[in-house]
Every structure is written in structure tokens, then in C-alpha cells.
């Protein structure tokens, strides 16, 4: 017993001494920096030993970073536990400096705790460093998986799922029942992605596509919790809460499910060839393409089955998270602003009429509807903070930034910055996008878009590391929002104020509404006509 107490005393004494030395060392460095252009020269709040500035942040990190930017300016420095040094950019000009002028130094993303259990050492498309493998996946995505040709080939899938979604709402309306719009929109996005990936619907059934979706959701949840803890220090590696253990189990389950689905695809392909079908590339899904690429001996980069599986996961999460949560924010804003809702409906009816449901091909003729989507993504970017890692020593704005330094670009703050949005930046006003113009990456002017060309609006990031699911997410968001506005009015239930949706946020890898959105759909146009 005495030995244990003595050992505990020595441990506490050592820890106290370490913290004391560390604290005074940091204070001395802060008062006498070795270089006037080091990170130490940037504005920075007072820090605590070991954890640095973690105590200044909270679950909704973008909001805490926003408060700090109000005090310390559009570019400041933090030290965040195990993440180390972090540079925070909170204005369009600073975002342009890092993501355009010095883009090649910030094309990598920091590693994520728990990714080692995926079985893919590359980290997949989302986490792999900027290099030959990442470039190969990017090229494959642009030229094959999300090319204009593929999006045209799959427009029928998106249309069928949209009509199925509208029909389910119409049946709810006839029964006078409220719909959980969060669940309904997630199911729509999941089914679109699942059919494009593996030719199977995943919602409302017990098939393997549905089990894969459930596994992916749990992987995201456990990974988020694990990374939130490990940021505070590596001692959380003891797995006190069992997140690592659970991640191992769910990754193993997911791998077995995906192996069966890939085997099934290969078996069908072999049967078709044996029956004299030859090599048919029309109407193939994304998994067919990836499996064929993995067997191509002449491919620029060799992919294995683990690579295919993790890449499928990246596509699943990028496509579903962006679309469903952005749609939920858009509908909430429209319900809270009935005049804007009515204006959007009048535009749709003037172009489409009242005899059919709006289609993707109608969207280019609906500028106000497009403005509603842009305004939603300005105020409610699903990924509010762009996170990068410096891959090489560089000098930005006269400041020396070392390799390994993290970069946070607070898109949420930029979307509310009066310097970029001079007229009522906190108000939901789609009309601003019909009159405002911005400067694109080539220095020319034009309407502000969401493709990463204008730095005051970056909901999908920009440049080489732009969101993988962007080409698919935009048509899904626009067409679905247009159809729900055209076909239904909405009566919220379960809200403190029946005429207004509570716009509180729930944290995670992506930001969504904190509370479920339940509404009774009231038919305006029968979607089954």
C-alpha cells in the first residue's frame, strides 16, 4: 500500500513539474519569439499547459471559432491538444490566400483516429495525402464516376426516387399524419446513392445495402466521438469509452457485407460474359466501374478490394450527408419565410405549370430557386469548417508556417461576414444572389456560384480538394427542394412556435438541425398525376 502511495506521489510530482516547466517555456517563447514572422507573431488567446486553447472551444466548433475571430481578427493562431498548431482563417481574402495562392501547400488533410481499422492504408479519397493515388481517384471521379455522361445516365434513378419520396409524403397527407422530414430526406439521398453505387435501394428493407448504410452511419458516429476525445490528448488511447473496440467490430462487419456485395457483382458480370454478353459499359453502377478498374493491369494506379470498399464509403457519406442535411435546412428556412416560399412556388408554376412535377432539366430556368439553395448553403454550410494540413514549409501573408500545421477555414463565419455580404448578412434573403456578383479565380466577374470560384461562398470547399459528392449533390438538392415546394404546404408539429422552426444546430462531422423536423404535408399539387 505504501509503495502504491509513494509511486502515486512521485507521478503527481513529475506531472506538476512537467506542466510548470511547459507553461513557463511557452510564456517565454511568446514574449521572446525567435522570429517576428513565426506563428507566435499571429494574434492568439491565452493558452493553458498541454491542452492549449481547447478550453475555448465547444461542440459547435465553428461558432466558438467565430467568437474568437471577432476578437482576434480574420487570421489567428491556436494550439489544440494533440492537433498541435492551428491557423484559423475567417474571411474570404484569407481563404483565397490559403486555398488558392498557396493551395499546393494545403492540399492534404490531417489523419483521423480510427481510420486504421478500415484496412486501407491509403486513407481513401477523403484522407489520402495529395499524391499519385489521390490524383488517380480524382481523375476517375471527374471522368467516369461523376462525369456529365454518368449523371445523365442516372437521371432516371434520381427521378424515380424523387417521385417515390413525394408519393410517400402524399400518402402521409391523405392520412393527416406528420412526416419526419429528416428521416424522409435521408432515405431519399441514401436510395439515390445506393442505386448509383450498387444498383440496390437501401431504405425500408433488410437487404445488404441497407445493412451497409447502417454500418457506415455507425462508423461515422464512433469516429466522431473518438476524434473528439483524442484531440484532448493521446492518453485517451486507453479507450476508456470503448469507441476503438466498437470501431473495430463495425469495420469488420462492414467489410464482410461489402465483400459479399462485390462478390455478387463479380458473379453477375461473369454470368453475363458466359452468356455472350461481352463487355457492356452502359447502365453499369459505380461498383462495377471500380471493380473493373481494380483488375486493370494497365491502370495508372493499382487498386485492391480494400481501396474499392473505402472509396465506396467515401462516396456514400459525401453524397448522403451533404444532400439530406442541406435540404432540411432549406425547407426549414422556407417554412420560416412564407413569402420566400410563395415566391419560389410562383416561379416554378410559371415555368413548369401545374400539370407535372418539376424535373432536373427545369432547374436552369428557375434562378430564384437556385438562389434559395445558395442562400441556404451560405447561412448553413453542412461542413462549416474546411480542415487542411500544411504539407510543406511555406510563407503565407509574411508568416512562416511549418509542415504539419493545421489550417481551419471557417466557412460559417465567411458566410456571415459583412465585408462579403454587406446587406443584412444574418438574414435569409435569396434575392441577394440575383443582384450580387463576385470575382472568380481568374479575376473576372460574374454571378456568385457554389463551385468554389468565389471565396465568400465555399459550402463544398474549392480546388483540388473540393467535396467529392458535389456534382451529384447539387441536382438532388435543387430538384428535391423544387418538388417539395411545388407539391406541398407544410404544417410544423412539435415546435414551441407552430409558425416557426427552431434553427438550433447539432454537431458532428456535418452540422444538422438539433431537433427532428415533423410536419404535416398539405397537398398543393398531386405528385401522382
Nearby residues of 497 by Cβ (< 8 Å), 6 or more positions away: none
Q: Which of 163, 145, 176, 86 is CA-nearest to residue 390?
A: 86
What is the total residue count of the chain?
Answer: 529
What Cα–Cα distance (Å) separates residue 252 from each residue in 111, 124, 216, 249, 429?
A: 20, 17, 12, 5, 47
Q: State the helix-helix crossing angle for 181-198 and 470-487, rounded to 10 degrees.
A: 140
| Element holding 493 (H helix, E strand) | strand 488-493
What Cα–Cα distance (Å) separates residue 389 from each residue in 82, 91, 407?
A: 14, 18, 6
Backbone φ and ψ of 518, nearest 5°: -105, 125
Find the DSSP H helices in 141-180.
Answer: 148-153, 155-175
Question: Which 3 state secondary structure label does DSSP give 450?
Answer: coil
Q: Please say whether the beta carbons of 327 and 477 come within 8 A.
A: yes
Nearby residues of 469 by Cβ (< 8 Å), 6 or more positions away: 146, 315, 318, 319, 322, 323
* Strand-pair category, 437-439 with 406-410: unpaired
Backbone φ and ψ of 285, nearest 5°: -90, 180
**228 grid coordinates:** 473528439
SS3 content of the chain, % helix, strand, coil (to 5): 55, 10, 35
Is 390 annotated to bind a ligand? Reply is: no
Number of H helices, E strands in the chain: 17, 13
Q: Dump the DSSP string for 394-429.
A: EEETTEEE-TT-EEEEEHHHHTT-TTT--S-TTS--
157/443 Cα distance (integer angstroms):
38
What Cα–Cα distance (Å) separates residue 473 from each residue in 158, 191, 315, 316, 450?
A: 11, 13, 11, 11, 12
Q: Please say whether the beta carbons of 253 and 214 come within 8 A.
A: no
Q: Within its chain, how far is the Cα of 96 from the centroid?
A: 20
Q: Please say whether the beta carbons of 333 and 517 come within 8 A.
A: no
237/243 Cα distance (integer angstroms):
10
What Cα–Cα distance (Å) separates residue 175 from each residue in 151, 170, 178, 498?
A: 35, 9, 9, 20
Which residue ranges are tagged as binding site?
A: 467
Which residue ranges are tagged as binding site for heme?
A: 467
Amino acid at each position: 500500500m505504501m509503495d502504491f502511495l509513494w509511486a502515486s506521489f512521485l507521478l503527481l510530482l513529475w506531472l506538476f513539474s512537467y506542466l510548470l516547466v511547459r507553461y513557463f517555456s511557452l510564456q517565454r517563447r511568446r514574449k521572446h519569439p525567435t522570429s517576428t514572422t513565426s506563428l507566435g507573431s499571429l494574434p492568439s488567446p491565452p493558452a493553458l499547459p498541454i491542452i492549449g486553447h481547447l478550453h475555448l472551444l465547444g461542440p459547435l466548433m465553428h461558432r466558438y471559432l467565430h467568437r474568437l475571430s471577432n476578437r482576434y481578427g480574420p487570421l489567428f493562431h491556436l494550439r489544440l491538444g494533440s492537433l498541435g498548431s492551428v491557423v484559423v482563417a475567417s474571411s474570404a481574402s484569407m481563404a483565397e490566400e490559403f486555398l488558392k495562392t498557396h493551395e499546393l501547400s494545403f492540399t492534404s488533410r490531417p489523419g483521423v483516429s480510427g481510420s486504421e481499422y478500415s484496412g486501407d492504408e491509403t486513407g481513401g479519397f477523403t484522407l489520402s495525402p495529395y499524391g499519385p493515388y489521390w490524383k488517380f481517384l480524382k481523375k476517375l471521379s471527374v471522368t467516369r464516376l461523376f462525369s456529365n455522361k454518368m449523371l445523365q445516365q442516372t437521371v432516371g434513378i434520381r427521378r424515380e426516387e424523387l417521385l417515390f419520396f413525394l408519393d410517400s409524403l402524399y400518402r402521409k397527407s391523405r392520412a393527416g399524419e406528420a412526416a419526419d422530414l429528416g428521416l424522409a430526406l435521408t432515405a431519399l439521398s441514401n436510395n439515390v446513392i445506393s442505386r448509383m453505387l450498387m444498383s440496390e435501394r437501401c431504405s425500408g428493407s433488410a437487404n445488404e445495402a441497407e445493412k451497409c448504410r447502417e454500418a457506415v452511419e455507425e462508423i461515422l458516429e464512433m469516429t466522431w466521438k473518438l476524434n473528439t476525445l483524442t484531440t484532448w490528448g493521446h492518453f485517451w488511447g486507453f479507450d476508456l469509452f470503448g469507441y476503438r473496440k466498437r470501431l473495430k467490430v463495425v469495420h469488420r462487419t462492414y467489410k464482410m457485407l461489402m465483400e459479399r456485395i462485390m462478390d455478387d457483382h463479380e458473379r453477375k458480370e461473369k454470368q453475363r460474359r458466359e452468356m455472350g454478353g461481352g463487355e457492356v459499359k452502359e447502365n453499369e453502377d459505380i461498383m462495377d466501374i471500380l471493380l473493373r478498374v481494380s483488375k486493370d493491369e494497365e491502370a495508372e494506379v493499382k487498386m485492391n478490394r480494400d481501396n474499392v470498399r473505402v472509396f465506396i464509403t467515401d462516396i456514400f457519406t459525401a453524397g448522403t450527408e451533404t444532400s439530406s442535411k442541406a435540404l432540411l435546412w432549406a425547407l426549414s428556412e422556407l417554412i420560416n419565410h412564407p413569402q420566400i416560399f410563395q415566391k419560389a412556388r410562383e416561379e416554378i408554376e410559371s415555368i413548369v405549370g401545374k400539370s407535372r412535377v418539376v424535373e432536373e432539366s427545369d432547374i436552369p430556368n428557375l434562378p430564384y430557386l437556385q438562389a434559395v439553395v445558395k442562400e441556404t448553403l451560405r447561412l448553413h454550410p453542412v461542413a462549416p469548417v474546411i480542415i487542411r494540413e500544411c504539407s510543406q514549409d511555406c510563407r503565407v501573408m509574411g508568416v512562416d508556417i511549418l509542415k504539419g500545421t493545421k489550417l481551419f477555414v471557417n466557412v460559417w463565419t465567411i458566410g456571415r461576414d459583412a465585408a462579403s455580404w454587406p446587406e443584412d448578412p444574418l438574414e435569409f434573403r435569396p434575392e441577394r444572389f440575383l443582384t450580387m456578383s463576385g470575382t472568380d479565380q481568374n479575376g473576372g466577374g460574374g454571378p456568385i456560384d457554389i463551385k468554389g470560384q468565389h471565396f465568400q461562398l465555399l459550402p463544398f470547399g474549392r480546388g483540388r480538394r473540393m467535396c467529392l459528392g458535389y456534382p451529384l449533390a447539387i441536382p438532388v438538392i435543387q430538384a428535391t427542394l423544387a418538388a417539395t415546394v411545388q407539391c406541398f404546404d407544410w404544417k410544423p408539429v412539435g415546435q414551441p412556435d407552430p409558425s416557426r422552426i427552431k434553427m438550433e444546430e447539432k454537431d458532428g462531422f456535418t452540422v444538422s438541425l438539433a431537433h427532428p423536423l415533423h410536419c404535416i404535408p398539405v397537398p398543393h399539387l398531386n405528385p401522382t398525376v
